[in-house]
């Protein structure tokens, strides 16, 4: 090998504390180094040209650049050496800026350290081999998991982009949390009026295949070629026949089914269409409360159904879909307020969540849009809102801010005063977080125009006294205790990761944080990508989000998918693991530990061997450190390459 | 060119690309001043870091090794640091047995945004290494006097017992006889070249069965042969310890349950031929001159050079048999009786106790003196029932090139570390490595130390549950007994 | 020729120290319960009660020897040159206290490395500069079978001096001319009457050895069984395929060559190799002509008792020391395999005759 | 099966809450809990000690815990939540090595940290259980409406006390239900009665305790059931003082849960000490007896 070493001054960034010329001189003494020089700005156009020229003129077969972090410019230089006709992997970087010149001023020590880092890079490069990507076909269909507003947006954008979409939703209708809202902040426009048309678009779009009452069972394959198994739950109603007429609901004698859509405020019929604007508008039987299932006789719905759609024998089905990309848009759940004993939720019927209150406000809700106390149906006159319930609370393991509670509480304060003009509204808050467009103005309106009384402080306790509730808290601005006699207490319950999110993440082979929210690839620069190629995130599954952010992320994820699908062939990263079949003894330890299921057992002349599925492997190298025979080797980070670096440091 | 003498020490860092390398970059961007000793090797993931890289560095000149990866749950590859955490923690527990101060190795988690934290990690680790000073080198250590005596002073313990050992053989033969027609081979033991040396027996016919013997001279682990006989129907006679190897092989799917038939024999301890040799030499003769030997309940009676010598089992039993928890097969298709286990009380072996009593310096010197004898025959490895790589062991490979042909003590010791690390969480402490060693090098100590770590960290014993996954091939998001992150 | 000399036990260390003035003296010492050959240092006492665990071959033929080292230097203008330095020169040595079998082992090396058309300079230099003072055996161990291979407890083959233990010391007899010079030390006394005592020690030792088995049919028998995979499978079934037997064997002379390269410098090593290892015959293509331990054991037994004798006038490549039996982790017995092979072929021949 | 527990009566047992101590011993004896009084026990230091010096406070408790270790027992029960709070806090703090060393320096015999402290209430719930209690009832408290009052420190802070729900405990509710009584929903069951202000700020106590009793009456309770000597004293002794600010003449008995247990299990009154209470529950209890017969 003929190696060229380029030591960068980076202006004075490196040269200021490192004698780059001395580093270059020392590098000339390293094995197989044919050329070593220092340069002002290696990454600049002339700098790159110098590398290209040196490769051509001096017949170099490998390049080391000692400059900034490879996380900064590795790709820049790889492209440069490629322009000169070398393989992009015949290149190494020594990070002498972030790891040397910027962290100390001792020029002697820095120069020495920089020289050693160059030696390491040279020793590694000597063991590098050209690596080549594979090309493979892309299935241009996308799976969107979750039919909330983020999923709907992502599905519509992809469909509009001409790609087929499979949209799966766990509930019987899409719409998600937004469908449950009465109005939205800061415009106070009707939530279902703006979401409804989008839901209809989903139902009618020729490119969208909507699967409600369906969950993800398993994911196999890799970017461009996922095989997805979907579990379609038994609805006991044949949806191809159901017209959504609702006669079954009218006649159903069992009215004890929990009303999930209305956040369990009241009950509903065992056969049910959750809300009038449901998409698909199809009935579902809840076998937990249906008399047919509980007692073995009833059959009223089957009798009244004009299309004969009822099918008590229906079984769960497993469907298989081929897709090239997956968007997870599984949303969030509301914090379980009964976990806070001092507020008495669960014991006191009139201590409710904001989302339950939203249903009380909604004209399609259980009270027809009239605010009534769940306990006695009376109209409350004094309503206390408590913010940050299950948010920003380390003791509950919920240290994060849910982000949208300040805003919806202000909205609900305003709506309360609209609905019951003679009501008194109190809001306990820690800080008002309203950084969005028109947001702060909106909270001000709640206080100033609508007379909501904002009290800065936490609520210590809620307890009943007669038919009222005493809300005891602190007013930290006045430095006093306050006690308010309330008719209704609304807790602004924070967002938490949707139930089952970690399990889903494991199926999708993506990371999740300690709270169960999915982790994006980069918090700033890759907010909708995950570390698994081909899997994207939209909406609150990544962290609590309000509607505009969710919609924006839905569109962003769709854009990523469309960009991915704009190529007919994808290239795999060649920095993946390979198994030397001659060394492999087929013990299967790599298969056990691979987080991607990227290694499979094969039969080679009657002997078990491991084989890496190149397109699934993400290049973590766990198999390499697991394989005792050194048969599995991660290309570009092989045992020999790392040993060369260790030896470069320890032998001298 | 090297570290700046007097100013720096040799500190090697292994950082994952996604979090910690980024964190170090961020620290640079933020101009967080750090000591200059550390040299960083970039790897994709902390899960890529083979603990052997760290030992390699520490044995070959590093004064300290620092590993840093993504915080648990933040791994770019979702699970890499979970595996790394287990493996690195185990290594930390293992290093002292080599005489390497575990404080010279640390692993921690730093995210790409934690510049300040990175600065603190580098500074405090560098400071720690400077406090420790340059590491002592294997080649430069000298053995203190009287170490052997200290070894000998440590008491052993209780042996398992089986009062009916004498009558078991016939029952075993009957049972094998019954199943032999359906089996290709049954592995047992027979008398070897002299009265003290038994040797593994491969029975193919009823005639072979007559050669079968039972007793404390059946020192070999019959499970060792199973992986190489895969595909055949094999019967195997096992002692309790052998059965744990069978279980471990099943755990790792290296043998097929349906193809093996296990005959479990209750064991009341086996002899250590080296101990007998030593005892005979003290009496002026040697194991090579043994004319007859008889093993009874009370011990071993040996005739050599016309004289008779009696040894109680306690004098000549293998160390592993003291406090034996599993004198009966933990898994058997045919269990020929039961022995009563000795009380284990969680006591550690004599060997480990002796190591614990040594200073780190002494341990290193001890290995230097012991490994010097190693002839690199790899009998330790080939006798190990779990060394399934055998023909493809990295000790003899040029690619990857972990170990050279130079017969330095460092290279020889490195191989033993490879063996210990590769069997970590898998080793059942059957002791075959040490028993097989023709030079009597006490290499089992390394595995014992490793197993102690595995027990403490994962409350796990290899080869006791066929369904269990070896702990280093698994992880928990929250590790009960690992409390990392001291930096 | 100087007559036999007597060396009293008390003067043994002095004599060794005297020898140590002109050459490195190696002797068997006890280490961790085993006996190995180590340079003689002040205060050490040789372990002479029985044969060493390791063979003396390592003194002459080290387990890993540096043949040469190289350094590449770059001149300005990109031209580079390679400098070669020979490995460390062999300094004169003396092995004290090997048994006759160990000394005889060197003669088996000699035929290969210096006797025929090949001349190995490294071996020759070492061999020529090494003197061997052999200690005759007083009695056999269970694994001894030197009389089977034409040797015996007082076999002087390969030695320069033969020392026979007698009451209070040793009777030293020179075997070679170089050995004779060793007996000129003022520390030695004329042996006189002690020679007879030595003779009786020798004959007693010879008598104590169980009678030798006739293995003259071994070369043909093993050759006849070459393709009998079943036979080799059976006899190798308990073999672990480790290298204890070969590395301890005084007659196993195989080596491998590797370059340990460190970029611009490196060295070429010659190290012991082991035909029981898979790597021994592994070809670069991945093909291995001896893929199983049966193939490899066949080679080891065959080499010693069939192929080597065919090349070297019927002389066996085995000195009968029994180390391979004694140190085998599973107590394999090479005698048994050889006898088994002879028996099988004989039985087969009988069958043929009967038919 | 008889279970042995060390017993730490606490100073109140010698004075203001003798009836609590008596009834506790009687009930436990009946239910097979063998309470071994710690020989030579000393004061837990109460609030004054820990307001002054944490290590001194811990040493006072640790001395008693070390005595339990000498008894060869690993559990200690105390009727008084304030004592319990000190025992638990000390153990908790002494898990920290530096603190433990500091405290042990003050002690003759170091405390090794092997003792689990619990309230008598917890011991009855966990070591006996409501099933056994229900089975031992001789005269059920049928028709008796009771407000169980736990006080503010019995369960809090939860990470130290580690028993029952800190905000809505139900252990005493379950015992009373097992005795056959009706437990009224009592939202202020973990409120502060103001005990430590008893001397300097009587007006605060009047406000806090008054609210508690009012709430109990509002909830329909005929008696308040307590598990704390301080609460008992405040709510019972001061009813006259509370009457004025609250505008109510309370006259509501405040009894220890152990007294009611003893009563329901038919223990003689001499072992239960109802006569030590200020507001006599005699009327209520005789009503229950009448209802039962």
Measure the CA dihedral D96/D102/D105/D106, to 10°. -110
- Chain A residue with Cα closest to C288: A582
Report the b/e string of B69-81 with b at 16+ CB within 10 A: bbbbbbbbbbbbb
- Give CA–CA dist C35/C47, Å, rounded: 7
Contact B438 C34 (CB under 8 A): yes
Read off the pLDDT band of C353 (50, 70, 90): low
**Side-chain-facing half-sphere of C27: CA atoms under 13 Å:** 24
Q: Encode pLDDT of B217-243 as tens digits.
A: 999 999 999 999 999 999 999 999 999
Residues 9-38 of B with CB under 8 A from A: 10, 12, 17, 21-22, 24-25, 27-29, 31-36
The crossing angle, in degrees rounded to 10, of helices A107-126 and A639-650 is 150
Contact B438 C53 (CB under 8 A): yes
Taken in order of first residue, the domains within chain D and their CATH numbers are: 3-121 (1.20.1050.140), 130-292 (3.40.50.11810)
Residue C99: is its pLDDT beyond 70?
yes
Nearest to A74 by CA among A43, A100, A46, A45: A43
- Give CA–CA dist A140/A137, Å, rounded: 9
C-beta of residue D219 within 8 angstroms of C-beta of residue A464:
no
Q: Encode pLDDT of B254-283 as tens digits.
A: 999 999 999 999 998 999 999 999 999 889
- Give CA–CA dist B266/B338, Å, rounded: 5
**pLDDT attached to residue B45:** 96
Residue B341: is its pLDDT beyond 80?
no
- Give CA–CA dist B123/B106, Å, rounded: 13
- Chain A residue with Cα closest to B469: A592
Q: Encode pLDDT of B419-436 as tens digits.
A: 999 999 999 999 999 999
Average pLDDT over residues C236-240: 96
C-beta of residue C24 within 8 angstroms of C-beta of residue C92:
yes
**Which one-letter DSSP state was computed for residue D37?**
E
Residues 396-415 of B with CB under 8 A from C: 396, 398, 404-407
Q: Encode pLDDT of A515-554 as tens digits.
A: 999 989 888 888 999 878 899 999 999 999 999 999 999 9
Cβ neighbours around B143 below 10 Å, total: 16
**pLDDT attached to residue B243:** 97
Residues 4-43 of A with CB under 8 A from C: 28-32, 34
B133 touches chain A (CB under 8 A): no
Contacts of A420 (CB under 8 A, 6+ apart): A371, A379, A380, A381
Q: Encode pLDDT of A572-586 as tens digits.
A: 889 999 999 999 999
Percent of chain B residues topping a pLDDT of 90:
75
B441 touches chain C (CB under 8 A): yes
Read off the pLDDT band of D247 (50, 70, 90): confident
Average pLDDT over residues D186-201: 88
Average pLDDT over residues A21-49: 95
C-beta of residue D252 within 8 angstroms of C-beta of residue D214:
no
Q: Does the reported pTM lie above 0.95?
A: no
Q: Encode pLDDT of A52-88 as tens digits.
A: 999 999 999 999 999 999 988 999 999 999 999 999 9
Nearest to B400 by CA among A602, C276, A637: A637
C-beta of residue C248 within 8 angstroms of C-beta of residue C301:
no
Q: How far is C26 from chain B, CA to nearest CA, in Å?
A: 15
- Cβ-Cβ contacts under 8 Å, A97 against chain B: 28
Residue B177: is its pLDDT beyond 80?
yes
Contact D168 A347 (CB under 8 A): yes
Question: Which runs of E-coded beta strand occur in A430-526?
Answer: 453-456, 459-465, 468-475, 480-486, 488-493, 495-497
Residue A491: is its pLDDT beyond 90?
yes
Contact D215 A465 (CB under 8 A): yes
Please give the C-alpha separations between residue A546 and each of A178, A428, A549, B419, in angstroms, as whole numbers. 10, 21, 6, 56
Helices (H), B252-297: 273-282
**pLDDT attached to residue B1:** 42
Of A242-246, B215-219, B352-356, C194-198, the poorest mean pLDDT is in B352-356
Query: Residue A372 corresponds to which tokens in the numbers above?
Result: 């009534």
End-to-end CA distance of chain C: 61
Question: What residues in chain A have their Cβ under 8 A from chain D's Cβ atoms?
Answer: 340-342, 344, 347, 463-466
Which chains would you list as touching C if contact means 3+ CB atom pairs under 8 Å? A, B
Integer Rg of chain B from CA: 25
**pLDDT attached to residue D196:** 81
- Chain C residue with Cα closest to A28: C74
Among B4, B29, B36, B82, the strongest candidate for a mutation testing the A interface, having the largest count of A CBs within 10 A, is: B36
Residues 177-206 of D with CB under 8 A from A: 185, 187-188
| Burial category of A160 from C-beta neighbours within 10 Å (exposed 0-12, middle 13-18, buried 19 and up) | middle
Contact B377 C278 (CB under 8 A): no
Q: Encode pLDDT of D148-158 as tens digits.
A: 999 999 999 99
Helix (H, G, I), strand (E, B) or coil at B103: helix
- Cβ-Cβ contacts under 8 Å, B3 against chain A: 112
- Chain B residue with Cα closest to C322: B288
**Positive or negative torsion for Cα B193, B194, B196, B201:** positive
Residue B3: is its pLDDT beyond 80?
no
Residue holding tokens 């902040």?
Answer: A185
Contact D218 A342 (CB under 8 A): no
- Give CA–CA dist A177/A547, Å, rounded: 10
Return the H-helix or E-strand segment holding A541.
Answer: none
Q: Is D touching A (3+ C-beta pairs, cut-off 8 A)? A: yes
- Cβ-Cβ contacts under 8 Å, B77 against chain A: 531, 595-596, 618, 620, 622
- Chain D residue with Cα closest to A343: D167
Nearest to B242 by CA among B423, B470, B432, B459: B432
Among D156, D160, D187, D213, the strongest candidate for a mutation testing the A interface, having the largest count of A CBs within 10 A, is: D187
Contact A31 C263 (CB under 8 A): yes
Residue holding tokens 């033929």?
Answer: C61
- Give CA–CA dist A182/A302, Å, rounded: 34
Q: Is B touching C (3+ C-beta pairs, cut-off 8 A)? A: yes
Contact C331 B198 (CB under 8 A): yes
Residue D87: is its pLDDT beyond 50?
yes
Contact D187 A464 (CB under 8 A): yes
- Cβ-Cβ contacts under 8 Å, D187 against chain A: 344, 463-465
φ/ψ bin of B459: left (φ > 0), alpha (ψ from -120 to 50), beta (otherwise):
left
- Chain C residue with Cα closest to B442: C32
What does pLDDT average to over chain C? 93
Pairing of strands A332-334, A480-486: unpaired
Please give the C-alpha separations between residue D5 and each of C9, D72, D81, D130, in angstroms, as whole numbers. 77, 10, 17, 19
- Give CA–CA dist A195/A197, Å, rounded: 6
Read off the pLDDT band of B150 (50, 70, 90): low
Q: Encode pLDDT of A408-440 as tens digits.
A: 999 999 999 999 999 999 999 999 999 999 999
The reply to whether ipTM tops 0.95 is no
Nearest to A452 by CA among A464, A444, A463: A444
Residues 217-236 of D with CB under 8 A from A: 218
Residue D67: is its pLDDT beyond 90?
yes
**Which one-letter DSSP state was computed for residue A515?**
T
Q: Is A touching C (3+ C-beta pairs, cut-off 8 A)? A: yes
**pLDDT attached to residue C77:** 61
Residues 140-169 of C with CB under 8 A from B: 141-144
Among B39, B397, B415, B468, the strongest candidate for a mutation testing the A interface, having the largest count of A CBs within 10 A, is: B39
Taken in order of first residue, the domains within chain A and their CATH numbers are: 3-125 (3.40.50), 141-233+316-331+502-565 (3.50.50.60), 247-304 (no CATH), 335-496 (3.50.50.60), 577-635 (3.30.70.20)
- Cβ-Cβ contacts under 8 Å, A69 against chain B: 21, 25, 28
Which residues share a beta bridge with C171? Answer: C6, C164
Average pLDDT over residues C323-349: 95
Return the H-helix or E-strand segment holding C16.
Answer: helix C12-19
Q: How far is A33 from chain C, CA to nearest CA, in Å?
A: 9
- Give CA–CA dist D78/D229, Å, rounded: 11
Return the H-helix or E-strand segment holding D28.
Answer: helix D18-31
Q: Encode pLDDT of A458-480 as tens digits.
A: 999 999 988 999 999 999 999 99
Nearest to B89 by CA among B421, B445, B393: B421
Query: Residue A622 corresponds to which tokens in the numbers above?
Result: 């766990």
Contact B392 A588 (CB under 8 A): no
Contact B400 A639 (CB under 8 A): yes
- Give CA–CA dist A216/A228, Å, rounded: 7
């Amino acid at each position: 090998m003929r190696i060229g070493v380029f030591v960068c001054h980076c202006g004075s960034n490196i040269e200021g504390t490192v004698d780059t010329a001395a580093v270059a001189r020392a590098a000339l003494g390293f094995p197989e180094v044919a050329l070593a020089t220092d340069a002002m700005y290696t990454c600049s156009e002339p700098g790159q040209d110098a590398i290209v020229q040196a490769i051509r003129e001096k017949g170099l077969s490998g390049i080391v650049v000692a400059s900034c972090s490879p996380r900064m410019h590795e790709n820049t230089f790889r492209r440069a050496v490629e322009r000169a006709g070398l393989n992009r992997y015949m290149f190494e970087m020594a990070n002498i800026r972030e790891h040397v010149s910027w962290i100390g001023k001792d020029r002697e020590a820095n120069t020495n350290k920089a020289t050693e880092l160059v030696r390491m890079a040279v020793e590694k490069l000597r063991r590098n081999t050209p690596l080549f990507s594979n090309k493979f076909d892309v299935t241009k269909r996308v799976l969107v998991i979750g039919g909330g507003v983020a999923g709907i947006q992502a599905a519509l954008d992809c469909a509009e982009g001409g790609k087929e979409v499979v949209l799966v939703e766990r509930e019987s209708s899409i719409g998600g949390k937004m469908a449950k809202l009465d109005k939205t902040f800061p415009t106070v426009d009707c939530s279902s009026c703006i979401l409804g048309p989008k839901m209809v678009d989903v139902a009618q779009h020729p490119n969208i295949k909507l699967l409600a009452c369906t969950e993800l069972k398993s994911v196999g394959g890799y970017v461009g070629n996922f095989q997805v198994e979907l579990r379609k739950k038994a609805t006991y109603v044949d949806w191809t026949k159901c017209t959504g007429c609702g006669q079954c609901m009218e006649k159903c004698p069992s009215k004890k089914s929990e009303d999930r859509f209305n956040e369990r405020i009241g009950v509903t019929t065992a056969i049910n269409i959750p809300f009038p604007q449901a998409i698909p508008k199809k009935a579902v039987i809840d076998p937990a409360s249906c008399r047919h299932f509980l007692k073995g006789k009833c059959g009223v719905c089957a009798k009244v159904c004009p299309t004969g759609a009822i099918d008590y024998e229906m079984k769960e089905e497993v469907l298989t879909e081929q897709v090239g990309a997956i968007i997870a848009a599984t949303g969030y759940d509301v914090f379980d307020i009964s976990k806070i004993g001092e507020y008495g939720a669960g014991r006191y019927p009139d201590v409710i969540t904001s989302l339950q209150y939203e249903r009380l406000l909604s004209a399609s809700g259980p009270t027809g849009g009239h605010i009534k106390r769940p306990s006695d149906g009376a109209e409350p006159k004094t309503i206390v809102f408590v913010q940050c319930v299950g948010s920003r609370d380390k003791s509950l393991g919920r240290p994060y801010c849910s982000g949208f509670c300040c805003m919806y509480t202000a909205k609900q304060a305003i709506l309360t005063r609209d609905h019951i003009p003679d009501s008194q509204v109190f809001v306990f808050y820690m800080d008002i977080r309203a950084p969005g467009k028109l947001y702060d103005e909106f909270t001000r309106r709640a206080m100033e125009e609508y007379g909501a009384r904002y009290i800065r402080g936490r609520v210590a306790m809620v307890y009943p006294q007669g038919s009222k509730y005493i809300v005891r808290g602190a007013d930290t601005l006045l430095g006093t205790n306050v006690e308010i006699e309330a008719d209704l207490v609304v807790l602004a319950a924070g967002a938490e990761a949707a139930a089952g999110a970690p399990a889903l993440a494991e199926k999708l082979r993506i990371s999740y944080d300690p709270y169960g929210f999915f982790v994006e690839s980069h918090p700033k620069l890759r907010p909708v990508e995950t570390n698994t190629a081909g899997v994207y995130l939209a909406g609150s599954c990544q962290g609590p989000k309000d509607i505009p952010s969710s919609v924006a992320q839905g569109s962003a994820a769709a854009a990523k998918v469309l960009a991915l699908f704009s190529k007919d062939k994808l290239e795999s990263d060649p920095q993946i693991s390979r198994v030397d079949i001659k060394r492999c003894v087929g013990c299967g330890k790599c298969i056990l530990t691979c987080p991607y299921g990227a290694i499979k057992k094969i039969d080679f002349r009657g002997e078990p061997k491991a084989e890496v599925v190149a397109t699934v492997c993400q290049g973590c190298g766990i198999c390499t450190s697991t394989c005792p025979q050194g048969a599995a080797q991660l290309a570009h980070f092989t045992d020999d390459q790392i040993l060369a670096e260790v030896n470069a440091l320890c032998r001298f | 060119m090297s570290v700046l003498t007097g100013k720096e020490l040799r500190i090697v860092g292994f950082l994952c690309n996604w979090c910690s390398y980024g964190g170090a970059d961020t620290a640079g961007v933020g101009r967080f001043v750090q000591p200059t000793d550390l040299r960083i090797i970039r790897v994709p993931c902390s899960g890529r870091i083979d603990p052997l890289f760290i030992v390699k560095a520490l044995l070959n000149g590093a004064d300290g090794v620092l590993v840093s990866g993504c915080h648990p749950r933040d791994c770019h590859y979702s699970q890499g640091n979970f595996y790394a955490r287990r493996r690195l923690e185990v290594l930390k527990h293992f290093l002292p047995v080599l005489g390497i101060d575990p404080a010279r190795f640390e692993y921690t988690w730093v995210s790409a945004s934690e510049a300040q934290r990175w600065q603190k990690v580098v500074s405090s680790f560098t400071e720690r290494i400077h406090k420790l000073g340059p590491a002592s080198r294997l080649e430069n250590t000298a053995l203190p006097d009287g170490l052997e005596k200290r070894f000998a002073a440590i008491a052993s313990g209780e042996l398992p017992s089986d009062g009916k050992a004498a009558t078991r053989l016939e029952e075993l033969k009957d049972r094998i006889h019954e199943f032999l027609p359906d089996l290709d081979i049954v592995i047992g033991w027979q008398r070897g070249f002299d009265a003290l040396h038994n040797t593994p027996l491969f029975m193919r016919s009823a005639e072979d069965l007559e050669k079968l013997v039972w007793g404390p001279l059946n020192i070999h682990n019959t499970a060792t042969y199973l992986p190489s006989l895969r595909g055949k129907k094999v019967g195997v006679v096992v002692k309790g310890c052998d059965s744990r190897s069978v279980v471990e092989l099943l755990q790792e799917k290296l043998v097929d349950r349906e193809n093996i038939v296990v005959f479990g024999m209750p064991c009341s301890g086996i002899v250590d031929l080296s101990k007998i040799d030593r005892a005979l030499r003290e009496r002026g003769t040697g194991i090579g001159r043994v004319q007859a030997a008889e093993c009874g309940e009370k011990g071993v009676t040996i005739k050599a050079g016309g004289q008779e010598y009696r040894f109680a089992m306690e004098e000549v039993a293998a160390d592993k048999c003291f406090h034996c928890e599993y004198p009966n097969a933990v898994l058997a298709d045919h269990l020929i009786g039961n022995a009563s286990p000795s009380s284990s009380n969680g006591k550690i072996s004599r060997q480990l106790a002796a190591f614990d009593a040594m200073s780190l310096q002494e341990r290193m010197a001890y290995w230097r003196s012991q490994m010097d004898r190693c002839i690199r025959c790899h009998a330790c490895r080939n006798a190990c029932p779990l060394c399934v790589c055998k023909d493809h062991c990295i000790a003899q490979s040029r690619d990857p090139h972990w170990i050279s042909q130079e017969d330095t003590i460092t290279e020889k010791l490195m191989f033993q570390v490879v063996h210990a690390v590769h069997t970590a969480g898998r080793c059942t402490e059957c002791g075959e490595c040490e028993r097989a060693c023709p030079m009597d090098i006490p290499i089992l100590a390394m595995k014992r130390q490793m197993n102690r770590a595995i027990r403490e960290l994962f409350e796990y014993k290899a080869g006791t549950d066929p369904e269990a996954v070896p702990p280093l091939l698994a992880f928990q998001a929250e590790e009960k007994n690992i409390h990392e992150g001291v930096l | 020729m100087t007559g036999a000399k007597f060396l009293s036990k008390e003067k043994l260390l002095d004599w060794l120290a005297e020898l140590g003035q002109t050459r490195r003296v190696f002797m068997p010492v006890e280490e961790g319960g085993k006996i190995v050959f180590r340079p003689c240092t002040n205060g050490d006492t040789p372990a002479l009660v029985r044969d060493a665990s390791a063979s003396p071959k390592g003194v002459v033929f080290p387990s890993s020897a540096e043949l040469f080292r190289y350094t590449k230097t770059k001149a300005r203008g990109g031209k580079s040159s390679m400098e070669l330095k020979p490995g460390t020169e062999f300094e004169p040595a003396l092995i004290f206290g090997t048994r006759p079998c160990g000394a005889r082992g060197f003669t088996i090396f000699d035929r290969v490395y210096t006797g025929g058309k090949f001349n190995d300079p490294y071996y020759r230099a070492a061999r020529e500069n090494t003197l061997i003072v052999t200690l005759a055996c007083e009695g056999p161990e269970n694994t001894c079978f030197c009389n089977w291979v034409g040797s015996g407890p007082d076999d002087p083959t390969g030695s320069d001096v033969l020392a026979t233990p007698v009451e209070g010391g040793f009777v030293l007899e020179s075997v070679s001319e170089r050995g004779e010079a060793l007996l000129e030390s003022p520390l030695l006394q004329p042996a006189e009457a002690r020679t007879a005592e030595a003779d009786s020690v020798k004959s007693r030792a010879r008598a104590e050895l169980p009678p030798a088995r006739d293995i003259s049919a071994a070369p043909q028998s093993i050759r006849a069984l070459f393709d009998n995979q079943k036979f080799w499978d059976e006899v190798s079934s308990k073999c672990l395929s480790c290298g204890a037997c070969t590395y301890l064997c005084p007659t196993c002379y195989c080596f491998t060559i590797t370059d340990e390269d460190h970029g611009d410098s490196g060295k070429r090593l010659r190290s012991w190799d082991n035909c029981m290892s898979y790597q021994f015959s592994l070809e670069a293509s991945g093909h291995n002509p001896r893929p199983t331990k049966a193939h490899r054991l066949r080679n080891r037994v065959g080499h010693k008792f069939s192929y080597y004798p065919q090349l070297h006038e019927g002389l066996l490549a085995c000195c009968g020391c029994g180390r391979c039996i004694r140190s085998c982790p599973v107590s394999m017995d090479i005698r048994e395999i050889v006898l088994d092979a002879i028996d099988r072929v004989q039985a087969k021949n009988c069958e043929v005759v009967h038919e | 099966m008889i279970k042995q527990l060390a017993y730490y009566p606490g100073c109140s047992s010698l004075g203001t809450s003798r009836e609590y101590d008596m009834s506790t011993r009687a009930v436990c004896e009946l239910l097979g809990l063998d309470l071994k009084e710690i020989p030579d026990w000393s004061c837990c230091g109460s609030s004054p000690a820990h307001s002054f010096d944490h290590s001194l406070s811990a040493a006072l408790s640790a001395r008693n815990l070390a005595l339990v270790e000498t008894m060869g027992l690993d559990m200690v029960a105390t009727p008084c939540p304030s004592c319990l709070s000190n025992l638990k806090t000390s153990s908790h703090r002494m898990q920290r090595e530096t603190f433990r060393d500091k405290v042990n320096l003050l002690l003759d015999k170091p405390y090794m940290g092997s003792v689990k402290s619990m309230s008598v209430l917890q011991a009855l719930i966990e070591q006996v259980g409501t099933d056994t209690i229900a089975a031992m009832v001789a005269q059920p408290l049928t028709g008796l409406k009771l407000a169980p009052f736990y006080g503010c420190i019995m369960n809090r802070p939860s990470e130290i006390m580690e028993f029952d729900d800190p905000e809505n405990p139900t252990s005493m509710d379950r015992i009373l239900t097992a005795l056959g009584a009706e437990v009224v929903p009592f939202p202020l069951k973990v409120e502060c009665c103001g005990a430590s202000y008893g001397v300097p700020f009587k007006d605060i106590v009047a406000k806090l305790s008054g609210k508690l009793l009012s709430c109990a009456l509002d909830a329909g309770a005929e008696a308040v059931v307590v598990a704390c000597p301080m609460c008992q004293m405040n709510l019972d002794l001061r009813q006259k003082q509370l009457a004025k600010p609250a505008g109510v003449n309370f006259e509501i008995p405040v009894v220890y849960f152990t007294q009611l247990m003893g009563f329901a299990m038919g223990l003689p009154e001499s072992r239960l000490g109802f006569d030590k209470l200020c507001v006599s529950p005699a009327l209520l209890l005789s009503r229950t007896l009448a209802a039962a017969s």
